[in-house]
């Protein structure tokens, strides 16, 4: 990447080495604008038609595509009525160009004469008027030269001027015209740039703003070289007068024009780069303005949600911005008017597990008359890395969704993306932003309460979440609700249930074999369910295959159920954190952190349950030893029950040392500054872990 300071130095050299400060001052001294405004666009369109399109069609032999814009331009030109004063000055400049150039005068002096004559005009007007004057000269020359073979009047004028026959001398004239064409195009490019600078919106960029102020220092000398280029082109046309019977040289003059074209092209590149910086500055200002407008919109009360949705998704009416996930047809934002809306915001790494669970919840909500909401996927993507693969991934994810999605990720304005990231704290993990029918924010992220309670969390407010927590206690039902009805049936039947996890196959085999033996010896019904390990999709697929073959116990036959079990636990933790809870004052949070810390261990773990609330839990080795020592606590079963007897044994036989790890995904947000160990109550040390799991 080039150094910006070096680039600025090169730019200064480009303008100063060829054009010393004395000439720059001389050029600027001719400038005394009187404030008159000229609409140069129609003039430029005519000049473009004569000098660029006509040249491409005739001299270069290229066919110019007449697209809809060109046809509309032609229609506009037909109605254009140029002011008499402009026609006069264009004619006057044409005369000056013809006279000065015919005499073979000094190009610099001729240029300064023209600049003095146009002193009262702005820089952009000077170059446009000069180009228009040359277009008249070139147009008249070409009409006469081209028509002389078939039109008597044109032939007579060509004879009086002794113009060369273009058809007969085409090969010798071709280098002249090719060099002239390059120079005219370069001059047109610089002119367009100067006009663009003039038309930049003053409400977003002013003359003293650095990108604009830098350009303003270069525009006078750039204008000088445009006009000087036109003087050179006019001289080239004038030199053809009297050349009918002369041999036409094509070396020196063509080289001079080419050299000048190279210089003007360099000026254009520098101005264009500065123009890009100006547009970036304007875009930044507009985005900041739109960002603050979004903030104000969310602080304002509305009769419906349309202003909010238009500001977030798409404000114009020229396209249908949404795709209906059910019909796959394009629809307008009107389908969301005065409805509860969940904005699903994610990158393109949204998992199929998330989509599958959301799909079930969304379809359930639509089937229930009292819990109806709409959902819209807003993908946050990087334009710099967008490619065909990204497009295919976007379309694939979109095809999986039954809800609405934006038809194109790039219709979302940068100001909306800024708001999503800075106000709603979106980073990488998907969030679900809830808006009520008036567009008011119900919650900046309802994903946790949706994972925990599903559609019972509707209408997804913080008050609703608090109310739901008040109804909950730590129980097996809370742990597996919405995942597997089989486990809840076991609970209803009063069976002893063991949930266990990890991926140490040696421990799993020993533990399940021992547990089954203990159940037989104690003559109680035991059901075991393997719940896997978090964030290990590929490894869990292998474990499912192993369980299918070796039949250790009952297990969930798909990774989605395993993923959802652990995701719900994490959601419980984050939900509690958002409500200011700690392990010291909240039993559910303490129990959740214990299970999550079990998952962070190298070995397995187990939770034994009977009924809704009776539980005993331990890490792998402790749980296995407890079962192996069944004879030491079996006598307590009749009086206390299996679970309480296990708890008493585990509490009396705690290992002297323990090392609990709690691994939380840092991208989810809300990581607590202080976490205490759920086993001993001491504050846990915090480490940063960077993980790349290629499975």
Judged by average pLDDT, the poorest of 365-379, 421-435, 485-499, 546-560 is 365-379
Judged by average pLDDT, the poorest of 86-90, 144-148, 325-329 is 144-148
Q: How many helices (H) and strands (E) does the chain have?
A: 28, 12
pLDDT tens for each residue of 620-634: 889 999 999 999 999
Give the mean model confidence (pLDDT) for residues 149-164. Answer: 66
User: For residue 18, what pLDDT is reported?
Assistant: 47
Res. 567: pLDDT tops 80: yes
CA distance 589 to 670: 14
CA distance 121 to 115: 9
Judged by average pLDDT, the poorest of 65-69, 583-587, 660-664 is 65-69
CA distance 15 to 511: 82
The DSSP code for 104 is: T
Give the mean model confidence (pLDDT) for residues 35-63. Answer: 74
The candidate with the shortest Cα–Cα distance to 256, out of 187, 188, 190, 176, is 176
User: For residue 180, what pLDDT is reported?
Assistant: 85
> Could you tell me the pLDDT band of residue 498, with boundaries at 50, 70 and 90?
very high
- As a whole-number percent, the residues of the chain with pLDDT over 90 amount to 55
Judged by average pLDDT, the poorest of 63-72, 164-173, 642-651 is 63-72
Give the mean model confidence (pLDDT) for residues 659-668. Answer: 60
Q: Give 617's strand partners.
A: 607
C-alpha distances in Å from residue 291, one per residue of 202, 286, 295, 302: 20, 8, 6, 18
Q: What are phi and psi of 466, to 5 degrees?
A: -60, -40
The answer to whether the CB of 477 falls within 8 A of the CB of 488 is yes
Tell me the three state secondary structure of residue 125: helix
C-alpha distances in Å from residue 564, one per residue of 315, 531, 534, 540: 37, 10, 9, 13
Res. 39: pLDDT tops 90: no
Judged by average pLDDT, the poorest of 358-367, 510-519, 622-631, 683-692 is 683-692
Burial annotation 497-512 (CB, 10 A radius, 16+ → b, else e): bbbbbbbeeebbebbb
User: For residue 5, what pLDDT is reported?
Assistant: 41
Res. 314: pLDDT tops 60: yes
Tell me the three state secondary structure of residue 526: strand
pLDDT tens for each residue of 520-545: 998 889 999 999 998 888 889 999 99
CA distance 445 to 462: 10
Res. 499: pLDDT tops 90: yes
CA distance 692 to 695: 9
Res. 262: pLDDT tops 90: yes
Q: What are phi and psi of 351, to 5 degrees?
A: -80, 155
Sole residue written with tokens 């924010």:
441
Sole residue written with tokens 């959902």:
375
Give the mean model confidence (pLDDT) for residues 419-439. Answer: 94
Which stretch, 38-47, 97-106, 259-268, has highest mean pLDDT?
259-268
Q: What is the DSSP string of 392-441?
A: HHHHHHHHT-SSEEES-GGGS-HHHHHHHHHTS--SSS-EEEEE-TTS-E
The answer to whether the CB of 116 falls within 8 A of the CB of 28 is no
Compare 198 and 141 and report the one with higher pLDDT.
198
pLDDT tens for each residue of 287-303: 999 999 999 999 999 99
Helices marked H in 319-405: 352-367, 388-399
The candidate with the shortest Cα–Cα distance to 221, out of 315, 302, 112, is 112
Res. 657: pLDDT tops 90: no
User: Residue 62 — left, alpha, or beta (φ > 0 → left; ψ -120 to 50 → alpha)?
Assistant: beta
CA distance 666 to 27: 61
CA distance 661 to 430: 25
pLDDT tens for each residue of 356-407: 999 999 999 988 776 689 999 999 999 999 999 999 999 999 999 999 999 9
Give the mean model confidence (pLDDT) for residues 540-555. Answer: 93
Q: How many angstroms from the chain centroid is the CA of residue 430?
A: 15
pTM (two decimals): 0.78
CA distance 192 to 186: 10
Res. 443: pLDDT tops 50: yes
User: For residue 173, what pLDDT is reported?
Assistant: 65
Res. 636: pLDDT tops 50: yes
CA distance 308 to 63: 48
User: For residue 611, what pLDDT is reported?
Assistant: 84
Which stretch, 177-186, 202-211, 497-506, has highest mean pLDDT?
497-506
Res. 15: pLDDT tops 50: no
Give the mean model confidence (pLDDT) for residues 597-604. Answer: 81
CA distance 514 to 520: 10
User: For residue 52, what pLDDT is reported?
Assistant: 75
User: For residue 482, what pLDDT is reported?
Assistant: 78
Show Cβ contacts of residue 462 under 8 Å, excluding neighbours closer than 6 positions.
Answer: 443, 579
Tell me the three state secondary structure of residue 363: helix
CA distance 518 to 130: 101
Q: How far apart are the first and last CA of the chain?
A: 36
CA distance 79 to 45: 13
Q: Provide the pairing of β-strand 330-331 with 614-619.
A: unpaired
How many residues make up the chain in this entry? 695
Sole residue written with tokens 């037909």:
78
| Backbone CA torsion sign across 665, 669, 670, 671 | positive
Largest CA distance in the chain: 130
Tell me the three state secondary structure of residue 517: helix
pLDDT tens for each residue of 203-249: 999 888 888 988 889 999 999 999 999 999 888 877 766 554 455 55
C-alpha distances in Å from residue 25, one per residue of 124, 241, 266, 372, 404: 18, 36, 21, 72, 62
Res. 649: pLDDT tops 90: yes
CA distance 342 to 431: 10
User: Residue 162 — left, alpha, or beta (φ > 0 → left; ψ -120 to 50 → alpha)?
Assistant: left
Q: How many angstroms from the chain centroid is the CA of residue 405?
A: 15
Give the mean model confidence (pLDDT) for residues 15-42. Answer: 80
Res. 250: pLDDT tops 70: no
Judged by average pLDDT, the poorest of 139-153, 303-317, 419-433, 524-538 is 139-153
CA distance 60 to 79: 29
């Amino acid at each position: 990447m080039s150094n910006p300071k070096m680039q600025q130095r090169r730019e200064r050299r480009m303008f100063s080495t060829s054009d010393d400060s004395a000439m720059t001052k001389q050029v600027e001294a001719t400038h005394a604008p009187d404030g008159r405004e000229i609409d140069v666009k129609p003039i430029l369109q005519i000049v473009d038609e004569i000098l660029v399109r006509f040249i491409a069609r005739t001299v270069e032999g290229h066919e110019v595509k007449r697209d809809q814009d060109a046809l509309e331009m032609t229609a506009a030109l037909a109605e254009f009525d140029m002011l008499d004063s402009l026609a006069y000055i264009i004619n006057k400049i044409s005369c000056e160009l013809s006279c000065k150039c015919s005499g073979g005068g000094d190009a610099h002096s001729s240029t300064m004469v023209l600049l003095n004559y146009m002193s009262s005009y702005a820089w952009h007007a000077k170059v446009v008027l000069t180009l228009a004057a040359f277009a008249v000269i070139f147009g008249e020359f070409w009409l006469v030269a081209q028509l002389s073979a078939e039109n008597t009047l044109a032939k007579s004028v060509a004879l009086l001027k002794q113009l060369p026959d273009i058809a007969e001398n085409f090969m010798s004239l071709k280098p002249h015209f090719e060099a002239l064409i390059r120079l005219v195009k370069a001059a047109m490019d610089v002119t367009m740039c100067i006009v663009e600078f003039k038309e930049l919106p003053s409400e977003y960029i002013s003359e003293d703003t650095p990108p604009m102020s830098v350009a303003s220092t270069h525009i006078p000398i750039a204008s000088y070289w445009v006009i000087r280029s036109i003087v050179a082109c006019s001289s080239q046309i004038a030199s053809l007068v009297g050349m009918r019977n002369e041999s036409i040289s094509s070396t020196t003059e063509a080289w001079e024009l080419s050299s000048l074209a190279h210089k003007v092209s360099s000026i254009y590149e520098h101005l264009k780069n500065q123009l890009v910086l100006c547009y970036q500055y304007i875009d930044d200002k507009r985005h900041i303005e739109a960002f603050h407008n979004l903030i104000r919109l969310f602080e304002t009360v509305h009769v419906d949600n349309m202003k909010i949705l238009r500001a977030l998704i798409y404000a114009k009416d020229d396209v249908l911005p949404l795709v209906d996930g059910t019909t796959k047809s394009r629809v307008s934002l009107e389908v969301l008017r005065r409805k509860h809306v969940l904005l699903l915001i994610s990158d393109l790494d949204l998992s199929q597990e998330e989509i599958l669970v959301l799909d079930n919840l969304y379809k359930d909500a639509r089937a229930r008359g009292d819990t109806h909401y709409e959902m819209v996927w807003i993908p946050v993507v990087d334009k710099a890395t967008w490619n065909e693969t990204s497009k295919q991934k976007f379309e694939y994810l979109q095809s999986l969704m039954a809800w609405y999605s934006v038809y194109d990720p790039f219709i979302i304005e940068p100001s909306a993306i800024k708001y999503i990231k800075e106000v709603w704290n979106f980073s990488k993990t998907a969030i679900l932003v809830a808006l009520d029918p008036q567009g008011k924010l119900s919650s900046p992220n309802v994903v946790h309460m949706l994972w925990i309670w599903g559609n019972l969390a509707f209408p997804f407010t913080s008050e609703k979440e608090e109310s739901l927590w008040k109804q909950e206690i730590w129980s097996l039902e809370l742990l597996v609700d919405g995942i597997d009805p089989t486990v809840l049936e076991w609970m209803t039947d009063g069976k002893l249930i063991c949930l266990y996890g990890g991926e140490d196959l040696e421990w799993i085999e020993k533990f399940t074999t021992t547990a089954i033996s203990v159940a037989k010896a104690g003559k109680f019904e035991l059901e075991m369910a393997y719940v896997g390990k978090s964030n290990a999709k590929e490894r869990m697929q292998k474990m499912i295959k192993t369980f299918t073959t070796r039949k250790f116990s009952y297990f969930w036959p798909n990774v989605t159920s395993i993923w959802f079990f652990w995701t719900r636990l994490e959601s419980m933790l984050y939900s509690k954190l958002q409500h200011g809870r700690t392990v010291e004052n909240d039993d559910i949070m303490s129990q959740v952190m214990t299970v999550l810390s079990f998952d962070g261990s190298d070995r397995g773990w187990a939770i034994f349950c009977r009924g809704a609330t009776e539980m005993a839990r331990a890490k792998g080795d402790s749980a296995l030893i407890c079962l192996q020592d069944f004879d030491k606590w079996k006598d307590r079963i009749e009086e206390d029950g299996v679970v309480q007897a296990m708890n008493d044994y585990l509490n009396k036989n705690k290992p002297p040392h323990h090392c609990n790890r709690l691994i939380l995904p840092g991208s989810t947000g809300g990581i607590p500054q202080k976490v205490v160990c759920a086993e001993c109550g001491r504050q846990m040390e915090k480490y940063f872990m960077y993980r790349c799991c290629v499975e």
